[in-house]
Amino acid sequence: MSKFDVIDRISLFNLLRKGSNFKKMPHELLEKKIIKNKEYIPYYFNYGRIALYYLFKELRAKGKKRILFPAFICPNIVYSAYKAGCEIYFADVDVETFNIPTEVLERFARKVDIIFIVHTFGLPYPMTTLDFSNIIVIEDCAHSIFSKVDNKHYTGNFGDYVLFSLYKQTPNLNGALLLSRIHCNFNFFLKKDTINLKRLIFISKEFEFIIDEYRKYKELEVPKIKDDFNAKMPNDIVFSLFEEGFKKLEDEVKGRYKIAKYYLELADDFGLKYQIILKGSSLFNFSILVDPKIRDQVLLTLRRYKIFCDRTWFNIPAKYGLFNLSIDKFPNAYYLSNSIINLPIRSNYTKEDVEYLFMKIYDIIKKLKNLI
Ligand SMILES: Cc1ncc(COP(=O)(O)O)c(C=O)c1O
């Protein structure tokens, strides 16, 4: 039986064996033609939200401060814009794609200076159907390396600014790459980040068993909005780990697409709703929607069986008083935030693995429903 965990692990032993040969990330993204435009300028940061904070500040200084976000999004991203002094607008999302419908985006585009597009959970946003000529586009590819728009163009080739994460699709400590079509005045010298030992142990195969025994009984996390904008250059180990992970990612994404057909079949058989999949999806995860009344209990019970899932983004920005937003204006984002369960999907899963996963989910839901 395979492991079911949204967190990917690496072997510390292999890492230590590599010793001091760590080298800075080469231009894999260009080599693999993920990014076709060689003129993009790369900027590395410890975290994506910090990269975005400096980008938002820079855009604001140029008078570009009205920015549109999908209402179903990571609150830290929006907090970066808020702290940078931007004017924040939201649009509700569709419950099948988890993203802003294109006609809504087009309407909003007339009212704002910047649109922030996320290829949420690897589902490519239909960039080619839109005219972006008079607006600044920030393209967030944190979940979508190797996703293809129209199953043809890699995500990351459409934005004026493009964000990649070095640690979300491959196991790593942290790290973000911001690409810009023009020079940015991030006129500070970044100190190299230290190694976050806690995180290193958390993602290591060697400690996996002990950590999972603990995680089995852990309550659900409620992370606070991160109020730290201390920009650092990723540690060399981050580049090295990304290089390792990136080599395997293309095949991993292809493999996930193949196995996804069982997820779709079983989700339909069990009457579960889910985020649609397109040819070209990178399948960061497979997200299902369950009754909000039992969602958290389903997640906790799955943990007892060592099936570790997520509930991204249960903490949508509208749930925070900060942005002066009424939840009623974004019913779909609110519904998604309360019903989502992100299931792990891996290329090495078999049909039997997927059946086991869905049977467990189905049994748990059935039992919990009988109790309410
Ligand atoms: C889609 C997306 N982009 C960017 C970020 C910010 O990335 P980081 O965790 O590197 O700050 C997040 C945060 O989880 C995210 O979900």
Give tens-digit pLDDT for 323-345.
Answer: 777 888 999 999 999 999 999 99
- pLDDT: which is higher, 241 or 364: 364
Architecture of domain 248-371: Alpha-Beta Complex (3.90)
All structural domains of the chain with their residue ranges: 19-242, 248-371
Please compute the mean of the pLDDT values over residues 249-257 and round it to a whole number. Answer: 97
- Between the CA of 164 and the centroid of ligand 1 the distance, in Å, is 9
Ligand 1 centroid – CA 60 distance (Å): 21
Query: Ligand 1: which atom is nearest the Cα of residue 118?
Result: 1
For residue 74, the ligand 1 atom closest to its alpha carbon is 16
Residues 6+ apart with CB under 8 A from 58: 184, 185, 186
Is the model's pLDDT at 363 over the cut of 90? yes
Round to whole Å and give the CA distance between 22 and 7.
23
Mean pLDDT is lowest, of 26-35, 152-161, 170-179, 210-219, for 26-35
Question: Measured between alpha carbons, how far is 116 from 139 in angstroms, rounded to an integer?
Answer: 6
Mutate to test the pocket of ligand 1, among 168, 174, 232 (most ligand atoms within 8 A of CB): 168
State residue 326's pLDDT score: 82
Nearest protein Cα to ligand 1, atom 8: 48
Identity (one letter) of the amino acid at 57?
K
Whole-angstrom distance, CA of residue 24 vs CA of residue 237: 9
Which pLDDT does position 81 carry in this prediction? 97
CA distances from 260 to 22, 90, 120, 167, 264 (A): 35, 31, 17, 23, 6
Which pLDDT score is estimated for 188?
83
Query: Percentage of residues in the chain with pLDDT exceeding 70?
Result: 95
In this predicted structure, the answer to whether residue 305 has a pLDDT above a threshold of 60 is yes
Determine the distance separating the centroid of ligand 1 and the alpha carbon of 48, expressed in angstroms.
Answer: 6
Q: What is the mean pLDDT of residues 245-258?
A: 95
Query: 49 CB under 6 A from ligand 1?
Result: yes
pLDDT, average across residues 77-89? 97
DSSP string, 101-123: -HHHHHHHHTT-SEEEEE-GGG-
Pick the CATH number of 19-242 from 3.40.50.720, 3.40.50.300, 3.20.20.450, 3.40.640.10: 3.40.640.10
Rounded mean pLDDT, 83-97:
97
Please report, rounded to a whole number, the percentage of residues in the chain having pLDDT higher than 90.
Answer: 80
Please state, as a whole number, how many other Cβ atoms lie within 10 Å of the Cβ of residue 289. 20
**What does the alpha-carbon distance between residue 155 and residue 117 come to, in Å, rounded to a whole number?**
11
pLDDT at residue 370, rounded to an integer? 86
| Alpha carbon of 199 to ligand 1 centroid (Å) | 16
Confidence at residue 20, expressed as pLDDT on a 0 to 100 scale: 47
- Band (pLDDT 50/70/90 cuts) for residue 201 is very high
Distance CA 140, CA 117 (A): 6
What average pLDDT is seen over the chain?
A: 93
The confidence band for 32, taking pLDDT boundaries of 50, 70 and 90, is: low
Q: Does residue 132 or residue 293 have the better pLDDT?
A: 293
Lowest mean pLDDT among 9-23, 175-189, 258-272: 9-23
Stretch 230-237: mean pLDDT, rounded?
93
Q: Kindly state the average pLDDT of the residues 192-200.
A: 95
Residues whose CB falls within 8 Å of the CB of residue 321, separated by 6 or more in sequence, listed in order: none
Asked whether the beta carbons of 105 and 137 are under 8 A apart, the reply is no
pLDDT band at 77, cuts 50/70/90?
very high
- What CA–CA distance (Å, rounded) separates 157 from 286? 24
